[in-house]
Structure formats: structure tokens, C-alpha cells
Amino acid sequence: MACSNCFNGCADIISDQCVKYTGVDIPGLDIHTGDTLLTVENKITSKIVTLMDGSGIIPIIDPADVCAVVQEIMPCCPPINLNQILTVFLKSICILNDKNEGLKSRIVTLETAITALNADYVIKCLTGVTVSSDTHEVLQATIDVVCDVKNQLTQYVKISDINSYIQAYIAGTPATTVYNTRMVPYTAEAYFGPLTGPGPGDGFDANGAGTGVWARVYICNGSSHPLAPDLRGVALIGATSVVGGGMDPKVDPAIPGNPDYIMNDPIVGNNQAFLTNPNQLPGHTHTATAANAGAHTHSVLNFPTDRDTIDGGSGTDGKIVLFNGTATTSSAGDHTHVITVGTTGSSAGHPNYQPGKATIYIMFIPL
């Protein structure tokens, strides 16, 4: 069948190349009035393909909606198609997953540390918490205590300045000029300073009781106060009659020879030691030797010359025969003589005291 105005003078009768598109322009598909049907088909087909593979889809994304993680891996220049955006999203998810795994590990470590921190505490002086309170509660209680202490402190003093502050306090406080304010009650203290004070009446009376700045301080002489012991000339030794475990054999009073130091008992020991028991002498011997006299006689001179005996008898059978003025005893034969060794020494004592230095013991008795 004949057709007019169907073709545009095409040499070959091919409809899609000779028929022209007469509709309105379609910018989105790049189709314009006058394009051949083949051109329109190709452009529509190409567009469909790009839509199917995503390369032709250009999403509109507000830059304000793109976070830092996504922004770091986004392509640098538009247009950015759907495939590129999906790739960015997938990579972002993987990055976030890796960070999430690392975060999980850190959370486990943190939970372990928190568990350790929340172990039972030794509360001591803290109030309002128990041994099972968590770290936050214990820390808050600690902060409260620190703040209370800070509020109570009006001035901080360096250790290097503390002596100067103490001296200044003592000098500026009238009550501290009294000696007993610096002494421990019932404790004998060795004192080497003067027993007077800055004012009249400061000192000790005839019995050793303190007056003025020495009020209620007593010299330990046994007469200043009923509770003040007499420490004149004696060394202070730890009492043995107190509770406790076993004692060293050198001082144990249960061992013979060791003294027992009992509170408020008389003084033990003496300045002079006397050895009155021979058993206390070191074991020793004495040697005395007498020479053998042999057989001998003894002559007695200056007797009368007439013949007689010493006992007045007659004849020659007396014990001693008088002859020519010399008398001779009968021989005693071979014999020895007993020798007695005389005594020596005077049983005097010897010094028995340790080196010492004189001091005055004083005691604060708050009665």
C-alpha cells in the first residue's frame, strides 16, 4: 500500500532510520525533535542499561548528611553514581565494623578494670560507704573527707618551717610558759637545765615541789610528792614484774643470781660489791714445801757443868744429860715439819657501778 510522507527521502527503506521523532524534547534522555527513530531507540536503550547497572543513577545527596567516615572514601569529583555511593557505603560499614570489634575488645578490658576497681575496699575512717560500695561511691566519700579536712585547715605549714612556728607559738602563748604543759604526766624526764624561771617564785621548794612556771612538776627525790620516786643516784631499768612472754636468760629473775625489778620496790643493787662467800672466789690452790730435815739433834747451851738431869734426878737416864755446859736432845730420826699458810686480804669491797652522768629527774603529776 502506498504511503506519503512516511520517509524522508531515504535511499533504503528502513523505517527506524528514515522515520523521525516529532515529539517534544526530552533532556533527561537527550532526545530531541527530528531525531531518527533509531537514535531515539538507542538513547532509550542506553539509558535503560545504565539504570539497570546503576552507572546512570546519580543520587542527590546533601553534603550536610555525609559523615566524616563516608566523606574520607567518597570520590573527589561529581557526578557520583549509585554504584560509587553503594561502594562507599559498603566500605564505611566495614570500617565501622572493624572499629566496633576494637571497641568491643576495649570494652572487655574496661569492664575487667572496673571489676578490679569495684573490689571490696578497706573503709577505715570513711563514712557513708561499706566494703562493697562501688568505686564512685568510695571516691565520693574520700572527696568529702578531703574537703572536710581542707575546711578545718586554716594554714598550711612546710615541714622546714614547723620548728619556727612551734617556737613562735610557745613564745606567744602565756600558758605554754608553764613547764608541765610540755611534759607527759607521770613520766620521769632527765633535766639538765636551770631549776629557776624568768620570774620570782619560779623554782622548787625545800621538798622539791615546783612553784611558779614549775607548778605540778616535782623533783624525783622521794619527798616532793607521794607519787614521785626517789631516783637520786640510781639508774632506771625496765621492770621485770610485768606481763609478757619469755625473758632473756641474762635478765630473767626466775634464774638464780638475776635480780627482780618490781615497780615501787626498794632499790636493787649496791655501789660496792663484797665477796663474802668463799665459793665466789675463783678455784685455786696454795703450795707450801718444807725440806726434809733428816736425822739430827738440837744443842742447848749455857747449862751448869756438874753432872745432873734437867728434871733433878741423878744418874744418866734422864731426858737431857748435862755435860760440860752443853745439853743435847735425843735424835728424833728422819722427819718433816707441818707449815701453816697465813691469810691475806681485808675483805674490802670493789667498785660496782657503770659510768654515768648526773641529771635531775623531774615528773609532772597532775594532782
Instruction: Check residue 5 and give left, alpha or beta (phi > 0: left; psi -120 to 50: alpha).
Output: left
* Total number of domains constituting the chain: 3
Whole-angstrom CA distances from 199 to 48, 174, 177, 178, 206 are 120, 13, 11, 12, 18
**Does residue 313 sit within a domain?**
no
User: Phi and psi for 361 in degrees, rounded to 5?
Assistant: -90, 130
User: Torsion angle of alpha carbons 295, 297, 298, 303, nearest 10°?
Assistant: 180
Q: Which of 9-23, 245-259, 263-277, 299-313 has the lowest mean pLDDT?
A: 299-313
- Residue 272 falls within a domain, yes or no? no
pLDDT tens-digit map of 39-58? 888 988 888 888 787 777 78
pLDDT at 2 over 50: no
What's the confidence (pLDDT) of residue 325?
55
Give the up-direction half-sphere exposure of residue 367: CA atoms within 13 A in the CB hemisphere. 10
Last residue of a domain, one of 99, 114, 129: 114
How long is the chain?
Answer: 367
Between the alpha carbon of residue 230 and those of residues 77, 169, 193, 266, 365, the distances in Å are 107, 34, 19, 10, 15
Please check the confidence at residue 212 and state whether its pLDDT lies above 80: yes
Same domain, 259 and 188: yes
Asked whether residue 262 is assigned to any structural domain, the reply reads: yes
**Is residue 243 domain-resident?**
yes
> Does residue 239 share a domain with residue 91?
no
224 and 365 within one domain = yes
- Copy the grid coordinates of residue 251: 635478765
Give the list of residues 6+ apart from residue 281 with CB closer than 8 angstroms, or none.
275
pLDDT digits (tens, 9 = 90+) for 61-96: 888 888 888 888 888 888 888 888 888 888 888 888
Say whether both 35 and 76 belong to one domain: no
Establish whether the linkage from the previous residue to 79 is cis, with ω within 30° of 0.
Answer: yes
Is the same domain home to 241 and 366?
yes
Q: How far is CA 266 from CA 8, 241, 260, 269, in A?
A: 152, 14, 11, 10
Residue 222 zone, left/alpha/beta (φ > 0; ψ -120 to 50; rest): left
Quote the cell numbers at residue 139.
571516691
210 exposed, middle or buried (CB, 10 Å; 0-12, 13-18, 19+)?
Answer: buried
Q: Same domain, yes or no, for 209 and 79?
A: no
pLDDT value at 243 more than 90: no
Same domain, yes or no: 234 and 362? yes
Amino acid letter, residue 239: A
250 and 363 co-located in one domain: yes
- Distance CA(241)–CA(260), nearest Å, equals 7
User: What residue numbers bound the domain in which 70 lies?
Assistant: 63-114
Look at residue 98 and tell me if it is in a domain.
yes
Asked whether residue 79 is assigned to any structural domain, the reply reads yes
202 and 262 co-located in one domain: yes
**For 97, what's the count of Cα atoms within 13 Å in the CB-facing half-sphere?**
6
Among 96-100, 119-123, 282-286, 330-334, where is mean pLDDT lowest?
330-334
Q: Which of 53, 83, 101 is the last residue of a domain?
A: 53
C-beta neighbour count of 179 within 10 angstroms = 21
Q: Which residues pair with 211 in a beta bridge?
A: 203
Residues 6+ apart with CB under 8 A from 224: 204, 207, 208, 209, 218
Same-domain status, 254 and 204: yes
Q: Is residue 325 part of a domain?
A: no
Rg (CA), the chain: 65
pLDDT of residue 186: 95
Measured distance between the N- and C-terminal CA atoms of the chain, rounded to whole angstroms? 150
pLDDT in tens, 150-182: 887 766 778 888 888 877 776 676 667 788 988
Which residue in the block uniquely carries the three cell numbers 613564745?
171
34: exposed, middle or buried (Cβ count in 10 Å: 0-12, 13-18, 19+): exposed
CB atoms within 10 A of CB 97: 10
Position 46 in a domain = yes
Asked whether residue 94 falls in the same domain as residue 208, the answer is no
- DSSP state letter for 143: H
The answer on 29 and 90 residing in a single domain is no
pLDDT band at residue 221 under the 50/70/90 scheme:
very high
